[in-house]
Chain A
C-alpha cells in the first residue's frame, strides 16, 4: 500500500530577529491511511510548526519550506498553489487546535459554523447542511445536539467546545486529521471520551491521524508510531511499543522516566524522579552541527559535540539519532 502521507527531508526555516533558523530540520516520515502517528517532545521543539507546515499554514513572511517534500496522496504540497492548499484544507486535511476558543468564531453559533464548513466543500442546501451539523454534534456525543447546535462557543464547557471543534474538523470527512494537543486543557475523563471518539471515527472513516502531545501515556494509548522531537529534529522514530519497551535515545528515556506514571504495583517507597536537567535550546541554536541534546545528556562524549548524530537503526523500523544509541 502506498502511504497516504510521505514527508522527505523536510526543512522549514523561520526568520526572526536573531536570523534564520531551521525549526524543522531534515524530517522524514510516512503514514498510512487508517493509522495514527504521534509527535511528542517538550514545548518549543517544533511539533506545532510541523503540523502547520503539513497544513500549508506556516506563519506568513516568517516561515518557509527551505527544502524537502510533503507528498500527500501522491501530490507534493510544497509545490501546491495557495488556492490548491485551501482546497485540500477544506476537504482532505483538517486540524484540531489546542485551544478551541481560538479557532471557533465567538459570534456564530456552533451549528452555523459546522454547517458553513460543510457547505464550503459540499453542494448542500442550508437546511441539509444544518441537519448534517446536528448529526456531527451527535457523533461527537454532545448531549441534546439539536438544542445545543444554536449555542455559542462561550456557552459550552471546555470539553464540549473541544468536541464541537472535532465535529467541525470532521465536517469535510478528511483523509488526514491533525490534532495538536487536543486534550491538554481537559480532565482525564473528558480526554478518555475524546480519545475513544477519535478511535471510533477513525475505524469508520479510515482517516489517518497525527496526534501531537507531550504525554507518553496518551501516545501509548492512541498511536502505532511515534516521533520524538527535540529542537526541530527527530530524536527517535518508530513503533510506540518498541520505543517504550526500549528507548534508544537518551531524550526519549528521559521523557518516559521523568514522569511519575500511575503504577499498579505502588509501594510506600517513593524514590526521587529522574531529572533531565536544563531546558530546550532557543530557536537560534537549532541548526548547529552537533547533537542539540548534548547540554542535557548524561551520556555525552566529545563526538556528540563534533557533529550531527547519525541515524542508528534497530529492529525493523526503530531509528534513534544518537552517537551512542547501541550502548543505551
Chain B
C-alpha cells in the first residue's frame, strides 16, 4: 500500500519568555525534527506522555498550527506550502476530531448546522445536496434524524462526539486526525465510539492519525505506532512489532506501566520504573533527551543524541543501545 501521509523533519517551535516580563526570549521546540508515514486506509497512533508534542504535531499536519520547518506530504503534494483555493482543497481532505466533546461544539448552533459547517466553508455544493449529505451523516454515525434540530447541550457526551465525527466526515476527507477522541468518555461509551470509528474507516476507506495515551486503545485501533518523547519520535513500528518487541527503553517502560486485568500478564510483567521528570523543554540537555530517566543510560547517551534508525523491516528506534 502507498503512503497517504508522509511527514518529514517536521519542526514546530513556540516563543516563550523566561524569567518574567524582562526575561530572555527562548524557543520551545514542541515538535523537533519529526518524521513518520501513514499508509492509505490505515491508522497510525501517536503515543507519549503529556507534553511530548502529539497535539502540536497533529495540528501542524492539519495546518491549524504553523510549522517552523519540514514537509507534510499528502498524496505526494507538500501541503505546508499551499494557499488559496489549493488550501481549501487540502482542508477538505484533512479533518480533525477533538478530545473534548463538550467544548469543541458551538453551544449556540443546532447539531445539523455544526455538521454542515465545513461543507459551507469549504465546498461549493448546492444547498439541497448539502442537506442530503448532512442527513446521511447523522445516520452513518448512529444519530436519529429528529436529533438534527437539537443543540449540543441536549446530547450526551458520546452523542456529542458522534456529532464531532459527522462534522469531520462532511467533506469526504481522506485523512482524519483524532486527538484523544475517547479519553473524555466513559468506558462503555468509549467502546461505542471506537467501534464506530473502525466501521467508518472500513466503509469510507479513511486514513487515521490517532492520538491517545491509552495503550489498550492504541493496541486495538492502530496498524502502526509512533512513540514520542520530548518532541521527538523515539520509536516507530508496526503494531505487532511495537507491542510484541518494544525496543526503545521509554517504550518498554511505558508498556510495562499499563495496569492489566490479566492476572498471568500481571505476574509476568516486570514494571520498569523511570523515576524523575522529563527535562525542561526550553533548556534541553546535551545527548539523549531520555538519559536522565533511562535505566540503560551510559556516558555516550549524555554526549550524542541518537538518531531514528531503521533496524530492519521498518522498525525504527532512536537509541544508541537497542
Contact = CB atoms under 8 A, between A and B. Distances in A.
A284 to B, nearest CB: 16
B285 to A, nearest CB: 15
Contact of B219 (A218, A260, A275): A260
Nearest to A267: B240
A150 interface: no
Interface in A288-322: 296
Interface residues of B, number: 46
A153 to B, nearest CB: 15
Interface stretch (B30-38, B113-121, B266-274): B266-274
Interface in A230-268: 241, 244, 254-256, 258-264, 266, 268
Contacts of A127: none
Nearest to B189: A279
B277 to A, nearest CB: 6
B187 A214 contact: yes
Contacts of B257: 188-189, 191-192
How many chain A residues sit at the interface, stated as a range, is 35 or more
A41 to B, nearest CB: 9
A296 B189 CA distance: 12
B52 to A, nearest CB: 9
Interface stretch (A84-92, A114-122, A155-163, A165-173): A155-163
B91 to A, nearest CB: 31
Interface in B223-263: 239-240, 243-244, 253-263
Contact of A274 (B191, B239, B255, B274): B191
Interface in B140-189: 156, 158, 186-189
B187 A187 contact: no
Interface SS majority for chain B: helix
B276 A221 contact: no
Interface in A191-243: 191-193, 195-196, 214-222, 241
B261 A220 contact: yes
Contacts of A60: none
B195 interface: yes
A255 B188 contact: yes
B190 interface: yes
B219 A189 contact: no
Contacts of B262: 261, 263-264
B213 interface: yes
A262 B243 contact: yes
B261 A266 contact: no
A214 B186 contact: yes
Given A187-B50, A220-B260, A220-B263, A259 B240 contact: no
A42 B220 contact: no
Nearest to B199: A272
A141 interface: yes
Among B191, B217, B220, B261, residue most surrounded by chain A Cβ atoms (within 10 Å): B261
A193 B273 contact: yes
A261 B219 CA distance: 8
Contacts of A158: 50
Contacts, number: 130
A190 B261 CA distance: 19
Nearest to A40: B187
Contacts of A43: 186
Contacts of A83: none
Contacts of B192: 275, 277
A218 B259 contact: yes
Contacts of B186: 42-43, 214, 279-280
A258 B188 contact: yes
B198 interface: yes
A266 B49 contact: no
B143 to A, nearest CB: 14
Contacts of B194: 260, 273
A150 B277 CA distance: 18
B291 to A, nearest CB: 15
B308 interface: no
Interface string B274-287: 11110000000000
A220 B156 contact: no
B191 A273 contact: yes
A275 B243 CA distance: 25
B188 A220 contact: no
B216 interface: yes
B24 interface: no
Contacts of B255: 262
B59 to A, nearest CB: 20
A264 B195 contact: no
B81 interface: no
Given A188-B258, A189-B254, A262-B260, A275 B49 contact: no
Given A187-B213, A258-B191, 11 more contacts: A42-B186, A159-B277, A188-B258, A193-B275, A196-B271, A217-B216, A256-B261, A259-B216, A264-B265, A266-B219, A279-B158
16 contacts: A42-B187, A143-B275, A186-B50, A189-B49, A192-B259, A193-B273, A193-B275, A220-B261, A220-B266, A259-B191, A261-B261, A263-B219, A268-B240, A270-B198, A272-B198, A273-B194
